[in-house]
């Protein structure tokens, strides 16, 4: 706990902490840009409105199972006739961010299996192969999303797709690539934040184990941490303690660092989104 108690006594640590806070804004700024690109063919929205919708969605979704409230928060600023159309955009956005976590998680797990064979096992090797296949399959789906309208399907599915997913089928190839790149970039921003905070808290590990551990945390929390806010934080802590514990790192330092990055990246934006929600009026166009 000595390193934690002196966390902000070092000028370098203070500088790193400032960078982490700036990267938090960059992180959600990238998400707002993604949301603006995804919904541009639904309803024209300023970047500021997109940023507001993202924060409102985070605040509304964080305490609901599977982030269901996120759909309401992001759709609130749309005209009533366009709210349903935003559902498909939100699902596609989640898919791209999940893909980014799977892609970097696959890279991290492959690195772990080959660099630390003594700590790995056949199940991890199998999981690494499955993640690589999932990365390839996910990329294929992303690039073929425009074929949604060309595939023969039952009439009732056509109605659902036209109502909720038409905007995704209308995305240009350029926008699809940009959205995917923004998702991957968000993961890199996450990673840099984690590494800086872990270093601040005394986890003096080399870059490779930090890279592997951080991306395994992202992978597990993205795939299994969406149940609610407690599940998200708990999975982060469990994976971090398991992985970094293999390197003899202090459990208290790992737990505190993981909580701190969660508080910066999730709790602060949630509070900002809650403030935005509390100031909302109930105009008829948002009914």
Q: Which of 19, 191, 200, 43 is nearest to 108 (CA)?
A: 191
DSSP structure class, residue 151:
S
Residue 165 has pLDDT above 70, yes or no: no
Rounded CA-CA distance 171/173 in Å is 7
Q: Say how many residues make up the chain.
A: 287
Residue 227 has pLDDT above 60, yes or no: no
Average pLDDT, the chain: 84
- What are 84-102's pLDDT values in tens digits? 888 888 988 988 999 999 9
- What are 252-267's pLDDT values in tens digits? 888 898 899 999 999 9
Which conformational region is residue 206 in: left (phi greater than 0), alpha (psi within -120 to 50 degrees), or beta?
Answer: beta
The mean-pLDDT minimum among 126-130, 160-164, 232-236 falls in 160-164
- Among all chains, which residue has been given the structure tokens 């909580």? 259
- What are 1-52's pLDDT values in tens digits? 445 556 666 788 889 999 999 999 999 999 999 999 999 888 888 999 999 9
Residue 181 has pLDDT above 90, yes or no: yes
């Amino acid at each position: 706990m000595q390193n934690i108690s002196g966390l902000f006594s070092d000028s370098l640590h203070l500088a790193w902490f400032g960078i982490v806070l700036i990267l938090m804004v960059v992180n959600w700024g990238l998400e707002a840009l993604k949301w603006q690109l995804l919904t541009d063919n639904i309803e024209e929205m300023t970047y500021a409105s997109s940023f507001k919708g993202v924060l409102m969605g985070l605040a509304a979704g964080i305490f609901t199972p599977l982030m269901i409230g996120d759909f309401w928060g992001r759709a609130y600023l749309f005209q009533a006739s366009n709210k349903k159309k935003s559902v498909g955009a939100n699902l596609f956005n989640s898919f791209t961010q999940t893909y980014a976590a799977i892609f970097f998680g696959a890279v991290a797990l492959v690195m772990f299996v080959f660099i630390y064979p003594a700590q790995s096992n056949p199940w991890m090797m199998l999981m690494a192969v499955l993640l690589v296949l999932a990365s390839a399959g996910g990329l294929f789906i992303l690039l073929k999303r425009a074929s949604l309208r060309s595939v023969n399907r039952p009439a009732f599915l056509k109605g659902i797709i036209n109502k909720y997913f038409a905007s995704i089928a209308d995305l240009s190839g350029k926008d699809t690539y940009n959205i995917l790149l923004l998702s991957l970039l968000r993961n890199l921003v996450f990673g840099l934040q984690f590494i800086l905070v872990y270093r601040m808290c005394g986890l003096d590990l080399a870059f490779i184990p930090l890279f592997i551990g951080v991306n395994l945390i992202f992978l597990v929390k993205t795939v299994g941490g969406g149940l609610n806010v407690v599940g998200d934080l708990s999975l982060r802590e469990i994976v971090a303690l398991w992985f970094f514990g293999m390197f003899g790192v202090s459990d208290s330092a790992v737990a505190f660092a993981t909580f701190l990055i969660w508080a910066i990246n999730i709790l602060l934006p949630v509070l900002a989104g809650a403030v935005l929600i509390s100031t909302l009026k109930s105009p008829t166009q948002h009914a």
